[in-house]
Structure 1
Amino acid sequence: MKDLLRSQDLLKSDVEMLLATAAEFASEPLKASNLLANKTVAIYMSKPSTRTRLASESAVAHLGGTPIFLRGDDLQIGRGETIADTAKVISQFAEALIIRTFASVLYTDVWMSMGDPEADRIEKEKVLASYSVSDELMGLASKDAIFMHCLPAHRGQEVSASVIDGRASKIWRQAYHRRTTIQAILYHSLRGEIKGRI
């Protein structure tokens, strides 16, 4: 598989392999520290993201590569260049490209995204207040349910502080495992070991 664009494209065996390798990288971060030696990985994010950027750059570095971070205004797409042309240029300088854009996993997130008008804040808070993840809501879930959030979280809005700090919260491990997962995907993708459905 050359491109990993959606989790739906992975076979069950691919997911199992990636998770097993991510677990290995968690205990031995420098396991394949020269897989990306003398190679460059471009990293593009449509919105700023502290944790995903750090995890991606760290994963590339742990594999021995050089990460190059690109912001939206670094690209010429907004000025008329096609995505195909941009991709061809990037491919001349990088062996892999990590893109963070729309997610297909649903869990709570901030109510106000970056760029939302401040004037909408009060109305959004009123409408979304009943959707806040609270201890009461967690109590309705199965006893082994976990809480995840892409961070940063606004305690007291989309989630209570007691849920963030509670036993069901996995947000800090989630933030950490961004790196090990990205590292495992790069490791197997660049070795051509992800079979995929396409």
Structure 2
Amino acid sequence: MDAGHTPHCRHLRSLLDLSSEEARALINRAIELKRMQRAGEDHRTLAGKALGMIFEKSSTRTRVSFETGMFQLGGHALFLSPRDTQLGRGEPIEDSARVLSRMVDGIMIRTFDQETVERFAAYSSVPVINALTDRFHPCQLLADLQTFTEHRGDIRGKRVAWIGDGNNMCHSFINAARLFDFELRIACPEGYAPDGAIYAAASDRCTIVHDPAAAAEDADLIATDVWASMGQEEEQAHRQALFAPFQVDDAVMARAAKDALFMHCLPAHRGEEVSASVIDGPQSVVWDEAENRLHAQKALLEFLLKPAA
């Protein structure tokens, strides 16, 4: 059975593993699950299911949201770090995938290299979820889209501004523009543009500019991220000087639509990528956005792990 690949299994390696219809249905289900949770309605749709959670990158929101989500759905989550598993001692990814997928019903991976997730998925007999790589952060985008939908309705045809590094979050916003049919303007410093192939596939919906004010013009949503992600700390000083003009402040928000929302995947550095007046201001929905990691991921877990009726 497991001598080779198991292509029949559904995974979330990037948002593009979903169709537009599936992605929209997930957002709607996430909103429903949030309502059920708050109303105290039983929604243990994954009773008896186990999720293996592999963390090669540290986490707050990802671990708590997946672990709590599995508990609320009636299942169980296991935290696995390289320090206390064979993964940290050089066991081939293919072998770990084959073994783990015979013991759990789903595997979530938060790691550096996208190739790790791709290889794990290729040899896993259960769904594999990308909970962040240096290339993509699809779970965060599901939470972001849920948040926008709750506050403003359908994002189709809206204008979104991404301001900052052309990083994994930017790549996932590009993929989301394709799936959810919105316009994306990307403002990044020269040399920090998103991956060319990822951008080219969505160039009918995306524009790269190098001016935050131009990107923010009439935007319905403005999003940003830290200037130096995990693993880039040694570039911090260089990046701070280069990215300083790309801070999302009141002047940038003033260029956006009057009812524009501000999002940040957190953790945030006030006074760097965003001013305190914006992230703590009335247009910021970052706390709803953070909470919605829980609900969006529950919808995703249900979609991937729930046994067929």
Compute the TM-score of the two structures, normalised by the length of structure 2: 0.57
CA contact (8 A) 1:43 1:98 kept: yes
Query: What runs of 5+ residues in structure 1 fail to find an aligned partner?
Result: 194-198
Q: Do structure 1's residue 16 and structure 2's residue 47 form an aligned pair?
A: no
Equivalent position amino acid for 1:105 in 2: M
Equivalent position amino acid for 1:44 in 2: I
- Residue in 2 that maps onto 1:154: 269
In structure 2, distance between residues paired with 1:59 and 1:70:
17
- Residue in 2 that maps onto 1:101: 132
Q: How many residues align?
A: 192
Q: Greater shift after overlay, 90-99 or 170-179?
A: 90-99
In structure 2, distance between residues paired with 1:126 and 1:85:
44
Q: Which protein has the bigger strand share? A: 2
- Residue in 1 that maps onto 2:227: 111
Equivalent position amino acid for 2:132 in 1: T
Q: CA deviation at 1:156?
A: 0.7
- Residue in 2 that maps onto 1:81: 91
Q: CA deviation at 1:31?
A: 5.0
What is the root-mean-square deviation of aligned Cα atoms in Å?
2.2
CA contact (8 A) 1:22 1:183 kept: yes
Q: Which has the higher contact order (CA 8 A, sep 6+)?
A: 1
In structure 1, distance between residues paired with 2:231 and 2:12:
29
Q: Greater shift after overlay, 105-114 or 90-99?
A: 105-114
Q: Deviations over 1:76-103 (max 9, x none)?
A: 3454322111111211221111222222
Q: CA deviation at 1:114?
A: 3.7
Q: Greater shift after overlay, 14-23 or 136-145?
A: 136-145
- Residue in 1 that maps onto 2:179: none
Q: CA deviation at 1:110?
A: 1.9
Equivalent position amino acid for 1:186 in 2: L
Query: What runs of 5+ residues in structure 2 fail to find an aligned partner?
Result: 1-8, 110-130, 138-167, 171-222
From 12, 36, 46, the counterpart of 1:4: 12
Q: 1:33 to 1:162 in 2, by over 3 A?
A: same
Q: Secondary structure at the match of 1:113?
A: coil
Identical positions, percent: 39
Q: CA deviation at 1:170?
A: 1.4
In structure 2, distance between residues paired with 1:88 and 1:31:
36
